[in-house]
A and B are shown apart, each in its own frame.
Chain A
Protein backbone atom coordinates (compact mmCIF):
# COMPACT_ATOMS: atom_id res chain seq x y z
CA UNK A 1 0.00 0.00 0.00
CA UNK A 2 1.42 3.39 -0.98
CA UNK A 3 1.77 6.23 1.42
CA UNK A 4 -1.05 7.97 -0.34
CA UNK A 5 -3.32 4.99 0.12
CA UNK A 6 -2.29 4.89 3.74
CA UNK A 7 -3.14 8.52 4.00
CA UNK A 8 -6.49 7.92 2.37
CA UNK A 9 -7.46 5.21 4.76
CA UNK A 10 -5.63 6.19 7.90
CA UNK A 11 -7.60 7.15 10.96
CA UNK A 12 -6.35 9.86 13.23
CA UNK A 13 -6.60 8.57 16.74
CA UNK A 14 -5.79 10.12 20.08
CA UNK A 15 -2.80 7.82 20.30
CA UNK A 16 -1.45 9.36 17.09
CA UNK A 17 -1.46 6.27 14.91
CA UNK A 18 -1.81 8.38 11.79
CA UNK A 19 1.24 8.22 9.54
CA UNK A 20 1.52 11.96 9.22
CA UNK A 21 4.96 11.95 7.70
CA UNK A 22 3.81 9.86 4.73
CA UNK A 23 0.56 11.73 4.35
CA UNK A 24 2.38 15.03 4.44
CA UNK A 25 4.94 13.92 1.89
CA UNK A 26 2.25 12.67 -0.45
CA UNK A 27 -0.31 15.42 -0.10
CA UNK A 28 1.83 18.53 0.29
CA UNK A 29 2.54 18.91 -3.48
CA UNK A 30 -1.12 18.31 -4.30
CA UNK A 31 -2.35 20.93 -1.87
CA UNK A 32 0.33 23.35 -3.00
CA UNK A 33 -0.46 22.86 -6.69
CA UNK A 34 -4.16 23.19 -5.96
CA UNK A 35 -3.52 26.61 -4.47
CA UNK A 36 -1.11 27.57 -7.25
CA UNK A 37 -3.79 26.98 -9.85
CA UNK A 38 -6.63 28.28 -7.73
CA UNK A 39 -4.93 31.50 -6.62
CA UNK A 40 -2.31 31.97 -9.34
CA UNK A 41 0.51 33.01 -7.02
CA UNK A 42 3.23 30.61 -5.86
CA UNK A 43 4.03 32.46 -2.65
CA UNK A 44 0.47 32.94 -1.61
CA UNK A 45 0.01 29.28 -2.42
CA UNK A 46 2.74 28.47 0.12
CA UNK A 47 1.02 30.53 2.77
CA UNK A 48 -2.33 28.91 2.11
CA UNK A 49 -0.78 25.44 2.04
CA UNK A 50 0.79 26.14 5.40
CA UNK A 51 -2.54 27.39 6.76
CA UNK A 52 -4.27 24.24 5.50
CA UNK A 53 -1.80 21.82 7.06
CA UNK A 54 -1.66 23.78 10.28
CA UNK A 55 -5.42 23.68 10.60
CA UNK A 56 -5.53 19.99 9.69
CA UNK A 57 -2.89 19.20 12.30
CA UNK A 58 -4.64 21.26 14.92
CA UNK A 59 -7.99 19.59 14.18
CA UNK A 60 -6.58 16.13 13.50
CA UNK A 61 -8.66 14.54 16.23
CA UNK A 62 -11.80 15.61 14.40
CA UNK A 63 -11.01 13.54 11.34
CA UNK A 64 -13.10 10.38 11.15
CA UNK A 65 -12.58 7.78 8.45
CA UNK A 66 -16.25 6.84 8.37
CA UNK A 67 -17.04 10.28 7.00
CA UNK A 68 -14.54 10.13 4.12
CA UNK A 69 -10.94 9.80 3.20
CA UNK A 70 -8.20 11.85 4.71
CA UNK A 71 -7.51 13.44 1.32
CA UNK A 72 -11.10 14.60 0.98
CA UNK A 73 -11.02 15.93 4.51
CA UNK A 74 -7.78 17.81 3.91
CA UNK A 75 -9.05 19.30 0.66
CA UNK A 76 -12.24 20.29 2.39
CA UNK A 77 -10.06 22.44 4.61
CA UNK A 78 -8.02 23.65 1.63
CA UNK A 79 -11.14 24.77 -0.22
CA UNK A 80 -12.34 26.70 2.81
CA UNK A 81 -8.94 28.35 3.10
CA UNK A 82 -9.04 29.25 -0.59
CA UNK A 83 -12.54 30.72 -0.40
CA UNK A 84 -11.63 32.78 2.65
CA UNK A 85 -8.50 34.01 0.92
CA UNK A 86 -10.35 34.95 -2.24
CA UNK A 87 -12.92 36.89 -0.24
CA UNK A 88 -10.19 38.78 1.56
CA UNK A 89 -8.36 39.30 -1.70
CA UNK A 90 -11.44 40.81 -3.31
CA UNK A 91 -11.76 43.26 -0.44
CA UNK A 92 -8.10 44.27 -0.55
CA UNK A 93 -7.64 44.18 -4.31
CA UNK A 94 -7.90 47.92 -4.78
CA UNK A 95 -4.95 48.64 -2.45
CA UNK A 96 -2.97 45.41 -2.68
CA UNK A 97 0.58 45.39 -3.99
CA UNK A 98 1.99 42.54 -6.06
CA UNK A 99 3.41 39.69 -4.02
CA UNK A 100 7.19 39.60 -3.72
CA UNK A 101 9.59 37.15 -2.14
CA UNK A 102 13.05 38.64 -2.01
CA UNK A 103 14.72 35.63 -0.45
CA UNK A 104 13.65 33.35 -3.28
CA UNK A 105 16.19 33.14 -6.10
CA UNK A 106 15.02 30.65 -8.75
CA UNK A 107 17.47 28.60 -10.79
CA UNK A 108 17.49 28.82 -14.59
CA UNK A 109 15.29 25.78 -14.91
CA UNK A 110 12.99 27.07 -12.21
CA UNK A 111 12.89 30.43 -13.91
CA UNK A 112 11.65 28.76 -17.10
CA UNK A 113 8.98 26.91 -15.11
CA UNK A 114 8.11 30.13 -13.38
CA UNK A 115 7.57 31.79 -16.72
CA UNK A 116 5.36 28.95 -17.87
CA UNK A 117 3.43 29.03 -14.65
CA UNK A 118 2.97 32.78 -14.76
CA UNK A 119 1.57 32.46 -18.24
CA UNK A 120 -0.74 29.66 -17.17
CA UNK A 121 -1.82 31.63 -14.12
CA UNK A 122 -2.54 34.63 -16.27
CA UNK A 123 -4.78 32.53 -18.51
CA UNK A 124 -6.49 30.94 -15.52
CA UNK A 125 -7.23 34.32 -13.98
CA UNK A 126 -9.89 35.03 -16.58
CA UNK A 127 -11.68 31.72 -16.08
CA UNK A 128 -15.01 31.72 -14.26
CA UNK A 129 -14.75 30.62 -10.61
CA UNK A 130 -16.41 27.27 -11.10
CA UNK A 131 -14.19 26.31 -14.05
CA UNK A 132 -11.10 27.39 -12.17
CA UNK A 133 -12.08 25.37 -9.12
CA UNK A 134 -12.70 22.28 -11.20
CA UNK A 135 -9.44 22.80 -13.06
CA UNK A 136 -7.49 23.21 -9.79
CA UNK A 137 -9.04 20.11 -8.27
CA UNK A 138 -8.14 18.11 -11.36
CA UNK A 139 -4.58 19.27 -12.08
CA UNK A 140 -3.56 20.48 -8.65
CA UNK A 141 -5.22 18.10 -6.22
CA UNK A 142 -5.33 15.31 -8.84
CA UNK A 143 -8.86 14.24 -8.09
CA UNK A 144 -10.72 12.04 -10.54
CA UNK A 145 -13.59 13.50 -12.52
CA UNK A 146 -15.96 11.46 -10.39
CA UNK A 147 -14.59 12.87 -7.14
CA UNK A 148 -14.69 16.39 -8.51
CA UNK A 149 -18.28 15.87 -9.61
CA UNK A 150 -19.21 14.98 -6.04
CA UNK A 151 -17.38 17.96 -4.63
CA UNK A 152 -18.84 20.57 -6.97
CA UNK A 153 -22.20 18.77 -7.26
CA UNK A 154 -22.23 18.34 -11.02
CA UNK A 155 -22.47 15.23 -13.09
CA UNK A 156 -19.27 13.44 -13.98
CA UNK A 157 -19.86 14.08 -17.68
CA UNK A 158 -20.41 17.75 -16.98
CA UNK A 159 -17.09 17.91 -15.17
CA UNK A 160 -15.41 16.09 -18.05
CA UNK A 161 -16.87 18.52 -20.56
CA UNK A 162 -15.82 21.57 -18.58
CA UNK A 163 -12.31 20.25 -18.15
CA UNK A 164 -11.97 19.36 -21.79
CA UNK A 165 -13.22 22.74 -22.90
CA UNK A 166 -10.95 24.57 -20.44
CA UNK A 167 -7.81 22.64 -21.31
CA UNK A 168 -8.45 23.05 -25.04
CA UNK A 169 -8.93 26.77 -24.64
CA UNK A 170 -5.76 27.12 -22.55
CA UNK A 171 -3.75 25.12 -25.05
CA UNK A 172 -4.99 27.27 -27.89
CA UNK A 173 -4.12 30.41 -26.01
CA UNK A 174 -0.71 29.02 -25.23
CA UNK A 175 -0.05 28.13 -28.87
CA UNK A 176 -1.33 31.50 -30.01
CA UNK A 177 0.99 33.15 -27.53
CA UNK A 178 4.03 31.36 -28.96
Chain B
Protein backbone atom coordinates (compact mmCIF):
# COMPACT_ATOMS: atom_id res chain seq x y z
CA UNK B 1 0.00 0.00 0.00
CA UNK B 2 1.58 3.24 -1.14
CA UNK B 3 0.98 5.53 1.77
CA UNK B 4 4.13 7.62 1.90
CA UNK B 5 2.15 10.68 0.71
CA UNK B 6 0.39 10.63 4.06
CA UNK B 7 3.61 10.78 6.08
CA UNK B 8 4.94 13.52 3.85
CA UNK B 9 1.89 15.62 4.53
CA UNK B 10 2.09 15.33 8.30
CA UNK B 11 3.44 18.54 9.88
CA UNK B 12 6.33 18.34 12.30
CA UNK B 13 5.83 19.19 15.91
CA UNK B 14 7.03 22.71 16.53
CA UNK B 15 9.99 22.75 18.90
CA UNK B 16 8.72 25.74 20.85
CA UNK B 17 5.40 23.99 21.38
CA UNK B 18 7.07 20.77 22.51
CA UNK B 19 9.39 22.59 24.91
CA UNK B 20 6.79 24.90 26.40
CA UNK B 21 4.29 22.06 26.89
CA UNK B 22 6.89 19.91 28.60
CA UNK B 23 7.90 22.73 30.89
CA UNK B 24 4.26 23.43 31.66
CA UNK B 25 3.18 19.93 32.58
CA UNK B 26 6.25 19.13 34.65
CA UNK B 27 5.53 22.15 36.81
CA UNK B 28 2.07 20.87 37.74
CA UNK B 29 1.22 18.56 40.60
CA UNK B 30 -0.64 15.30 40.07
CA UNK B 31 -4.34 14.98 40.92
CA UNK B 32 -3.51 13.39 44.28
CA UNK B 33 -0.90 16.09 44.81
CA UNK B 34 -3.54 18.70 44.08
CA UNK B 35 -5.94 16.96 46.46
CA UNK B 36 -3.23 16.95 49.09
CA UNK B 37 -2.56 20.62 48.45
CA UNK B 38 -6.27 21.43 48.68
CA UNK B 39 -6.58 19.34 51.85
CA UNK B 40 -3.52 20.99 53.37
CA UNK B 41 -4.91 24.34 52.38
CA UNK B 42 -8.23 23.56 54.06
CA UNK B 43 -6.51 22.26 57.20
CA UNK B 44 -4.43 25.42 57.27
CA UNK B 45 -7.54 27.56 56.84
CA UNK B 46 -9.30 25.66 59.62
CA UNK B 47 -6.26 25.99 61.89
CA UNK B 48 -6.07 29.72 61.22
CA UNK B 49 -9.78 30.19 61.96
CA UNK B 50 -9.50 28.09 65.11
CA UNK B 51 -6.40 29.99 66.16
CA UNK B 52 -8.12 33.32 65.65
CA UNK B 53 -11.16 32.14 67.60
CA UNK B 54 -8.97 30.88 70.44
CA UNK B 55 -7.04 34.12 70.40
CA UNK B 56 -10.25 36.12 70.57
CA UNK B 57 -11.58 33.91 73.36
CA UNK B 58 -8.32 34.13 75.25
CA UNK B 59 -8.17 37.89 74.88
CA UNK B 60 -11.75 38.16 76.09
CA UNK B 61 -11.02 36.03 79.12
CA UNK B 62 -7.89 38.07 79.72
CA UNK B 63 -10.01 41.13 79.40
CA UNK B 64 -12.60 39.97 81.89
CA UNK B 65 -10.64 38.29 84.66
CA UNK B 66 -7.06 37.54 85.63
CA UNK B 67 -5.82 35.54 88.57
CA UNK B 68 -3.15 37.52 90.42
CA UNK B 69 -0.92 35.63 92.86
CA UNK B 70 -0.08 37.54 96.01
CA UNK B 71 2.08 35.39 98.22
CA UNK B 72 0.25 32.10 98.63
CA UNK B 73 -3.08 33.84 97.97
CA UNK B 74 -4.89 34.61 94.77
CA UNK B 75 -6.90 37.63 93.78
CA UNK B 76 -9.34 37.72 90.88
CA UNK B 77 -8.68 40.87 88.94
CA UNK B 78 -11.42 41.86 86.56
CA UNK B 79 -11.43 44.64 84.03
CA UNK B 80 -15.09 45.23 83.40
CA UNK B 81 -17.39 46.76 85.94
CA UNK B 82 -18.78 43.33 86.76
CA UNK B 83 -16.40 40.41 87.27
CA UNK B 84 -18.71 37.70 86.07
CA UNK B 85 -22.40 37.28 85.67
CA UNK B 86 -24.19 36.37 88.83
CA UNK B 87 -21.65 37.66 91.30
CA UNK B 88 -23.28 39.78 93.94
CA UNK B 89 -21.71 42.51 95.97
CA UNK B 90 -20.64 40.17 98.73
CA UNK B 91 -20.32 36.92 96.76
CA UNK B 92 -16.64 36.35 96.07
CA UNK B 93 -15.30 34.26 93.21
CA UNK B 94 -14.84 30.66 94.42
CA UNK B 95 -11.48 28.98 94.15
CA UNK B 96 -11.04 25.84 92.07
CA UNK B 97 -11.64 22.59 93.91
CA UNK B 98 -14.42 21.05 95.91
CA UNK B 99 -15.85 23.14 98.71
CA UNK B 100 -16.15 20.92 101.77
CA UNK B 101 -19.87 20.99 102.59
CA UNK B 102 -22.44 18.85 104.35
CA UNK B 103 -26.21 18.86 104.62
CA UNK B 104 -27.29 19.47 108.19
CA UNK B 105 -31.01 19.85 108.96
CA UNK B 106 -31.68 20.27 105.25
CA UNK B 107 -29.17 23.13 104.97
CA UNK B 108 -25.94 23.00 103.03
CA UNK B 109 -23.20 24.15 105.36
CA UNK B 110 -19.49 24.55 104.87
CA UNK B 111 -17.45 22.13 106.94
CA UNK B 112 -14.81 24.02 108.84
CA UNK B 113 -13.31 21.10 110.66
CA UNK B 114 -9.58 21.41 110.87
CA UNK B 115 -9.81 25.17 110.51
CA UNK B 116 -8.60 27.39 113.33
CA UNK B 117 -11.10 29.77 114.91
CA UNK B 118 -9.72 33.26 115.39
CA UNK B 119 -10.60 35.95 117.83
CA UNK B 120 -8.96 39.42 117.89
CA UNK B 121 -6.93 40.68 120.85
CA UNK B 122 -7.52 44.26 119.69
CA UNK B 123 -10.38 46.04 117.92
CA UNK B 124 -10.74 49.70 116.85
CA UNK B 125 -12.07 52.17 119.38
CA UNK B 126 -15.86 52.27 119.75
CA UNK B 127 -16.41 48.78 118.41
CA UNK B 128 -17.65 45.81 120.39
CA UNK B 129 -18.51 42.25 119.59
CA UNK B 130 -21.98 41.64 118.33
CA UNK B 131 -24.06 38.66 117.34
CA UNK B 132 -22.80 36.84 114.30
CA UNK B 133 -25.54 36.58 111.70
CA UNK B 134 -26.54 33.18 110.48
CA UNK B 135 -25.13 31.67 107.32
CA UNK B 136 -26.16 33.71 104.34
CA UNK B 137 -23.39 33.30 101.86
CA UNK B 138 -22.59 30.44 99.60
CA UNK B 139 -18.86 30.27 99.90
CA UNK B 140 -18.02 31.73 103.26
CA UNK B 141 -18.90 31.52 106.93
CA UNK B 142 -18.98 34.53 109.25
CA UNK B 143 -17.16 33.83 112.49
CA UNK B 144 -17.10 37.27 114.03
CA UNK B 145 -18.79 40.65 113.88
CA UNK B 146 -18.15 43.94 115.67
CA UNK B 147 -20.11 47.14 115.47
CA UNK B 148 -20.13 50.67 116.91
CA UNK B 149 -22.88 53.02 117.95
CA UNK B 150 -23.35 54.18 114.39
CA UNK B 151 -24.12 50.58 113.47
CA UNK B 152 -20.96 50.43 111.38
CA UNK B 153 -19.68 46.88 111.28
CA UNK B 154 -16.51 44.90 110.93
CA UNK B 155 -17.04 41.33 109.82
CA UNK B 156 -14.66 38.38 109.96
CA UNK B 157 -15.38 35.46 107.72
CA UNK B 158 -13.52 32.34 106.77
CA UNK B 159 -13.46 30.08 103.74
CA UNK B 160 -11.59 26.86 103.10
CA UNK B 161 -8.45 27.42 101.06
CA UNK B 162 -9.75 24.91 98.51
CA UNK B 163 -13.15 25.59 96.99
CA UNK B 164 -13.71 28.71 99.03
CA UNK B 165 -13.79 32.33 98.00
CA UNK B 166 -11.19 34.61 96.57
CA UNK B 167 -11.15 38.35 96.86
CA UNK B 168 -11.79 40.18 93.62
CA UNK B 169 -11.10 43.73 92.51
CA UNK B 170 -10.37 45.77 89.41
CA UNK B 171 -6.79 46.84 88.69
CA UNK B 172 -5.47 49.44 91.09
CA UNK B 173 -8.09 48.68 93.73
CA UNK B 174 -5.97 46.25 95.74
CA UNK B 175 -2.49 45.83 97.06
CA UNK B 176 -0.35 43.24 98.75
CA UNK B 177 0.28 43.83 102.46
CA UNK B 178 1.66 41.83 105.39
CA UNK B 179 -0.17 40.39 108.40
CA UNK B 180 2.33 39.20 110.98
CA UNK B 181 4.88 39.00 108.17
CA UNK B 182 2.67 36.79 106.03
CA UNK B 183 1.34 37.93 102.65
CA UNK B 184 -2.15 39.40 102.67
CA UNK B 185 -4.40 41.29 100.25
CA UNK B 186 -6.03 44.60 100.96
CA UNK B 187 -8.94 45.52 98.68
CA UNK B 188 -10.34 49.03 98.48
CA UNK B 189 -14.09 49.21 98.03
CA UNK B 190 -16.51 46.85 96.36
CA UNK B 191 -19.10 46.70 93.61
CA UNK B 192 -21.79 49.20 94.44
CA UNK B 193 -25.31 47.81 94.60
CA UNK B 194 -27.71 49.05 91.98
CA UNK B 195 -30.39 51.54 92.90
CA UNK B 196 -33.75 49.83 93.49
CA UNK B 197 -35.27 51.69 90.55
CA UNK B 198 -32.74 50.19 88.17
CA UNK B 199 -31.67 46.78 89.44
CA UNK B 200 -30.39 45.60 86.04
CA UNK B 201 -27.94 48.48 85.55
CA UNK B 202 -24.26 47.70 85.13
CA UNK B 203 -22.67 47.87 88.56
CA UNK B 204 -19.73 50.13 89.25
CA UNK B 205 -16.83 49.64 91.58
CA UNK B 206 -16.92 52.06 94.49
CA UNK B 207 -13.67 52.36 96.43
CA UNK B 208 -15.41 54.19 99.26
CA UNK B 209 -17.43 51.13 100.18
CA UNK B 210 -15.01 49.82 102.80
CA UNK B 211 -11.96 47.61 102.96
CA UNK B 212 -11.33 43.89 102.77
CA UNK B 213 -8.24 42.39 104.31
CA UNK B 214 -7.57 38.76 103.37
CA UNK B 215 -4.88 36.49 104.74
CA UNK B 216 -4.31 32.79 105.11
CA UNK B 217 -3.92 30.63 108.19
CA UNK B 218 -3.39 26.94 107.58
CA UNK B 219 -6.13 25.52 105.39
CA UNK B 220 -8.33 28.59 105.78
CA UNK B 221 -8.52 32.04 104.25
CA UNK B 222 -9.74 34.76 106.62
CA UNK B 223 -11.15 38.13 105.63
CA UNK B 224 -11.88 41.16 107.71
CA UNK B 225 -14.20 43.56 105.96
CA UNK B 226 -15.82 46.91 106.53
CA UNK B 227 -18.64 48.48 104.55
CA UNK B 228 -17.40 52.08 104.66
CA UNK B 229 -14.39 54.26 105.40
CA UNK B 230 -14.81 54.19 109.17
CA UNK B 231 -11.80 51.98 109.85
CA UNK B 232 -8.36 52.75 108.50
CA UNK B 233 -6.34 50.12 106.70
CA UNK B 234 -3.70 50.32 109.45
CA UNK B 235 -6.33 49.56 112.09
CA UNK B 236 -7.69 46.68 110.05
CA UNK B 237 -4.22 45.20 109.70
CA UNK B 238 -3.59 45.72 113.40
CA UNK B 239 -6.85 43.93 114.22
CA UNK B 240 -5.88 41.05 111.94
CA UNK B 241 -2.44 40.81 113.49
CA UNK B 242 -4.02 40.61 116.95
CA UNK B 243 -6.02 37.51 116.00
CA UNK B 244 -5.43 34.50 118.23
CA UNK B 245 -6.53 30.94 117.80
CA UNK B 246 -9.36 30.16 120.23
CA UNK B 247 -11.03 26.87 121.12
CA UNK B 248 -14.12 26.18 119.00
CA UNK B 249 -16.42 26.43 122.01
CA UNK B 250 -15.42 30.08 122.39
CA UNK B 251 -16.20 30.85 118.77
CA UNK B 252 -19.85 31.68 119.47
CA UNK B 253 -18.84 34.68 121.56
CA UNK B 254 -15.79 36.29 120.04
CA UNK B 255 -13.74 38.55 122.25
CA UNK B 256 -13.27 41.09 123.47
Contact = CB atoms under 8 A, between A and B. Distances in A.
A57 B26 contact: yes
Interface stretch (A70-78, A90-98, A150-158, A167-175): A167-175
A174 B9 CA distance: 12
Q: SS class of chain B's interface: helix, strand, loop or mixed?
A: helix
A19 interface: no
Nearest to A139: B6
A43 B3 CA distance: 24
Given A37-B10, A61-B32, A163-B1, 14 more contacts: A24-B22, A36-B10, A54-B21, A58-B29, A58-B30, A104-B14, A113-B9, A113-B11, A116-B8, A117-B9, A117-B10, A119-B9, A139-B7, A171-B2
Contact of A58 (B10, B14, B28): B28
B21 A53 contact: yes
**Max chain B C-beta neighbours (<10 A), residue from A37, A54, A58, A113:** A58
Contacts, number: 79
Contacts of A119: 9
Contacts of A117: 9-11
A170 B6 contact: yes
A171 B5 contact: yes
Interface in A53-86: 53-54, 57-62
Instruction: Give 6 closest A-B pairs by Cβ, nearest first.
Output: A116-B9, A57-B25, A120-B9, A117-B9, A139-B6, A32-B13
Interface of B: 1-3, 5-14, 17-18, 21-22, 24-26, 28-32, 34
Q: SS class of chain A's interface: helix, strand, loop or mixed?
A: helix
Interface residues of A, number: 38
Given A53-B21, A110-B11, A174 B5 contact: yes
A125 to B, nearest CB: 14
